[in-house]
Amino acid sequence: MAVFEYSGISGKNGKAVKGYRDAENVRALRVALKKEGVMLTSAQEGSQKKKRRAGDVDAFAFLRRISASEVAVMTRQLATLIRAGIPLVETISALTEQVENEQLVRVLTSLRDNLREGTAFATCLAMHPKVFPPLYINMVAAGEASGMLEAVMERLADFMENQSRLKGKVVSALAYPTAMAFFATGLVTFLMVTVVPQLTGIFENLGQELPWYTRLLIFTSRVVSGYWWLLLLLGGGGGYAFVRWKRTEQGTLRWDTMRLGFPIFGRLTLLVSLARFTRTLSTLLASGVQLLPAMEIGKNVMENVRLEGVIAEAIGSIREGESIAEPLKRSGAFPPMVTHMIAVGEKSGQLEAMLENVSRAYEAEVETKVATMTSLLEPIMIAVMGGAVGFIVISIMMPLVQMNNLVE
């Protein structure tokens, strides 16, 4: 089934209408629109751009993919319109005309058409697993079953916005140090390849022993300028081998375990994973999802196999009749505050509220640590960059000064 961009005239008011619709062919599209009182005037498969041949590769497809932030914005608009009492099909139709991402328009069009056929909203969402994760689908299913879809959509919009904001802060905090590292590496490489080799001949004609740091600089320069291809090959091969190893089951487990033990970054990784898990679990439970399915979904958002294994073991223990807090505490991977708050929430019947408090506390701690880390990384990067350039300058200048003293 293809997606058509169509234009037509409404038989009710004579106004021009346009949109996207799934259909087998133009004839089927015309019949479907006629049933809705729309006379088709033009139809084109795909977008307004020329249709690509089946074998063509779209080099810019990644720029048009649906991002999590776009889904979060769409969810907020959806929640607002449903809260206003607008029927779900009309709400989807309104969003179809507002969003700019072509891929998201197609998804919304498919949702609207499936809803018109009587398919449940959660089932429609499940047809697009790359856009809507299991968390999204399960919350919508719980909202439909409980008759609280508008409240669930608002809670889901809050959750997605919080997650996007948290991820954005971490990424933006690391952007500047990363750019500085690339700039420093490029500058030092440029000096090693262009400046230092030109002075090597002068140093060799001095007729005296060079300082150890100058000899080290010359050796490094010769290696970089003469064997750069080998260095690139070794770096690329090492990176490829590391990625292959990390993709194995054992490699993923060992790497994720090592990540949790890294200085500074290990604690940050743990906090981000726990904030995601507790926020997800709180949102799902508050939306009516049962505990074990909610923990299964929450486990998958942690993005750390070591912690996912802890949750999987906890799920097995809970099935055998244990509390939630006890297996988490026994694992030693979760901080005492998490297990204590969960235990209090279980006893008081306020588990969702306790989990939300934990997530807020850890999200605030993540923001604080990211800000602190950024403030420390900037001077460290400047110091490292200045030290590298200073080493090159001193290694070059000292032999020249010695040569000048000999001449005098």
Q: Mind listing the pLDDT tens digit of every residue in the chain (408 residues)?
A: 567 777 777 766 667 777 777 777 777 777 887 777 777 777 776 544 444 443 444 444 444 578 878 888 888 888 888 888 888 888 888 888 888 888 888 888 888 888 888 888 888 888 888 888 887 888 788 778 777 788 888 888 887 887 777 777 777 777 777 787 788 788 888 877 777 777 776 666 666 677 788 888 888 888 887 888 888 899 899 999 999 998 898 999 999 889 888 887 888 888 888 888 888 888 888 878 888 888 888 887 788 888 888 898 888 888 888 888 888 888 888 888 888 888 898 888 888 888 888 888 888 888 888 778 777 777 887 888 888 888 888 887 877 776 666 555
Query: Based on the structure, what is the number of domains in the chain?
Result: 3
Q: 57 lies in a domain? A: no
- Residue 373: burial class (beta carbons within 10 Å; 0-12, 13-18, 19+): middle
Report the candidate in 384, 396, 343 with the shortest Cα–Cα distance to residue 210.
396
By the 8 A CB rule, do 91 and 116 touch?
Answer: no
Report the candidate in 114, 160, 112 with the shortest Cα–Cα distance to residue 139.
160
Cα distance between residue 193 and residue 349, in whole Å: 67
| Structural domain for 131, as ranges | 67-161
Same domain, 392 and 251: yes
Q: 194 lies in a domain? A: yes
Domain boundary among 134, 161, 188: 161
Same domain, 19 and 136: no
Same domain, 272 and 392: yes
Same domain, 99 and 227: no
Phi, psi dihedral angles at 206 (to 5 degrees)? -70, -30
Same domain, 242 and 330: yes
Domain boundary among 113, 141, 161: 161
Q: 58 lies in a domain? A: no
Same domain, 149 and 177: no
Cα distance between residue 67 and residue 164, in whole Å: 10
DSSP 237: H
Q: 193 lies in a domain? A: yes
Same domain, 286 and 338: yes
Q: 52 lies in a domain? A: no
Q: 53 lies in a domain? A: no
- Residue 167: burial class (beta carbons within 10 Å; 0-12, 13-18, 19+): middle
By the 8 A CB rule, do 218 and 200 touch?
Answer: yes
Same domain, 292 and 334: yes
Q: 282 lies in a domain? A: yes
Cα 194 to its chain centre, rounded Å, is 39
Map residue 68 onto helix, strand or coil: helix
Same domain, 243 and 134: no
By the 8 A CB rule, do 131 and 71 touch?
Answer: yes
Q: Which residues lie closer than 8 Å to 322 by C-beta, 6 or more apart? A: none
Same domain, 204 and 271: yes
Statement: the pTM of the whole predicted model exceeds 0.85: no
Report the candidate in 107, 133, 85 with the shortest Cα–Cα distance to residue 95.
107
**Joined tokens for residue 315:** 């799920």
Same domain, 82 and 100: yes
Q: 325 lies in a domain? A: yes
Domain CATH code at residue 337: 1.20.81.30
